Structure 1
Amino acid sequence: MFVRSLTALACGAVAALALGASPASAAPAASCDGALVLWDNVDYNGTHICFGYWESESDLGKVAALPSGTMQDKTSSVQNLTGSDFCLYVDNNYSGDRFTVSAHTSIVDMRVPNPYWNDKISSVRPGAC
């Protein structure tokens, strides 16, 4: 695993960004530069996990994210600081509903524009869906 750092550091958002529509602008945790970052709270706050542009995870329930347990069904904001797209899935093993987070895109609040996506992500892999 490349960069999977887990901390409870908080980073503030620069602006509210629509789902997959705006370039990444908030500062990531230092260890997550150039990675896909999944945060357990909106506004890029709380516990986070980082994926290098080549990394995938079929079951976020296997990824410890202390102090909150795992990252299974916890993602509330996303930063894609890579030059690659990523596909996020609501079920394990890359299945169920999915959407693409484009390269250099941030989502400050997974509830916008659709509350369905908040706290639903269970697996992730590089590439468009």
Structure 2
Amino acid sequence: MSVRSLMAVACGAAAALALGVSPASAAPAAPAASCDGALVLWDNVSYNGTHICFSSWESESDLGKIAALPSGSMQDKTSSVQNYTDSAFCLYVDNNYSGDRFTIAAHTSIVDMRNPNPYWNDKISSLRPGSC
């Protein structure tokens, strides 16, 4: 993939999930310069730890192929998400765009994937632009 960046950074923002939860009133915290205009997956809640960025046109059928953490890939590691793109993204629990899924709307952030449903924490395995 053409635009990806890995770094440890700390940010803060309000959460929203496109599963019937109303979007947060505050805008997402500013991304690291390398993730400006991207979808950002974080391995810890509150936009902490290692992150990986995807441009608005990028998809990934297997996050297990991306070595992002010292302990391995970003497969089943996402604990917070920031979408700085003008597009929604569909996040899937299984590889190859399958299994349970949800849409994260454009310009939306989820500070903690455990809220409102703990099921989504550390579950994301593939993603692609567009609504589910």
State the TM bucket, normalised to the shorter chain. over 0.9
- 1:49 and 1:64 map into 2 onto residues whose CA distance is 10
**More displaced stretch, 85-94 vs 67-76:** 67-76
Q: After the TM superposition, which segments of 4 or more aligned residues of structure 1 sit over 6 Å from their partners?
A: none
Conserved 8 A contact 1:89-1:96:
yes
Conserved 8 A contact 1:11-1:29:
no
> Could you tell me which residue of structure 2 aligns to residue 85 of structure 1?
88
> Aligned to 1:18, which of 16, 19, 22?
16
Conserved 8 A contact 1:24-1:81:
no
Q: What does the per-residue CA deviation read over 1:31-82, in whole Å, with 9 as the maximum and x for residues that have no partner? A: 0000000000000000111000000000000001032310000000000000
> Could you tell me which residue of structure 1 aligns to residue 3 of structure 2?
3
> Aligned to 1:95, which of 95, 98, 113?
98
1:1-129 equivalence runs, <5 A: 1-7=1-7, 9-15=8-14, 17-20=15-18, 21-22=23-24, 24-129=27-132
Normalised by the length of structure 2, the TM-score is: 0.91
* Residue-pair matches, total: 127
Structure 1 alignment gaps of length 5 or more: none
AA aligned opposite 1:4: R
**Cα deviation, residue 24, structure 1:** 4.2
**Cα deviation, residue 109, structure 1:** 0.3
Normalised by the length of structure 1, the TM-score is: 0.93
Matched residue SS, 1:84: coil
Change (3 A) 1:3 1:51: same
Counting aligned pairs with the same residue, the percent is 79
Matched residue SS, 1:65: strand
- 2:46 and 2:127 map into 1 onto residues whose CA distance is 20
AA aligned opposite 1:18: A
Structure 2 alignment gaps of length 5 or more: none
RMSD across aligned C-alpha pairs, in angstroms? 1.2
